[in-house]
Amino acid sequence: MTITELCTKRAKAWEAAKAFLDSHRTEKGTLSAEDDATYIENNRCKRTLTKSPPGTSSLGLEDC
């Protein structure tokens, strides 16, 4: 997978996370405990797309 493909995949994950927050926030702007756990898990997957493999230099994905 190329850096461009990884950036695209990360951008799609970010948009999905934003859409999730927008559709699951209460009137007070908070999430239920269940929705919060789901968001945290989805965000963990996005961070995984940003990390460089051990023993390699940064791929620059933090800036995607």
Q: How many residues does the chain have?
A: 64
Confidence at residue 9, expressed as pLDDT on a 0 to 100 scale: 86
What is the maximum span of the chain, computed from C-alpha positions, in angstroms?
Answer: 46
- What pLDDT digit, counting tens, does each position of 8-39 carry? 888 888 898 899 999 999 999 999 999 999 98
Share of the chain above pLDDT 90, in %: 31
Confidence at residue 62, expressed as pLDDT on a 0 to 100 scale: 53
Q: Which residue has the higher pLDDT, 62 or 21?
A: 21
CB 27, CB 20: distance < 8 Å: no
Confidence at residue 7, expressed as pLDDT on a 0 to 100 scale: 84
